[in-house]
Amino acid sequence: MARTPSRRLRRMMKQMGLKMDTLTDVEEVVIRGRDREIVIEEPIVAVLDMRGERVYQITGGRVKERGLERKSIPEEDILLVAQQAGVSLEEARKALEEAEGDLAKAILMLKTG
Q: What is the CATH number of the domain that holds 107?
A: 1.10.8
d(CA 6, CA 73): 58
Instruction: Judge whether 1 lies within some domain.
Output: no
Instruction: Judge whether 52 lies within some domain.
Output: yes
Same domain, 58 and 31: yes
Biggest alpha carbon–alpha carbon distance for the chain: 72
Task: Identify the three-state secondary structure at position 108.
Answer: helix
CB 71 within 8 A of CB 78: no
Instruction: Judge whether 104 lies within some domain.
Output: yes
d(CA 94, CA 111): 14
Per-residue pLDDT of the chain (113 residues; tens, 9 = 90+): 566 678 888 888 888 888 889 999 999 999 998 888 999 999 999 999 988 899 999 998 899 998 877 678 899 999 999 999 999 999 999 999 888 889 999 999 999 87
Q: How many structural domains are present in the chain?
A: 2
Domain residues for 55?
A: 6-67
Percentages of the chain per state (helix, strand, coil), in multiples of 5 = 35, 35, 30
Same domain, 28 and 57: yes
d(CA 43, CA 54): 18
The type of residue at 56 is Y
Same domain, 14 and 63: yes
Q: What is the pLDDT of residue 1?
A: 52
pTM metric for this prediction: 0.52
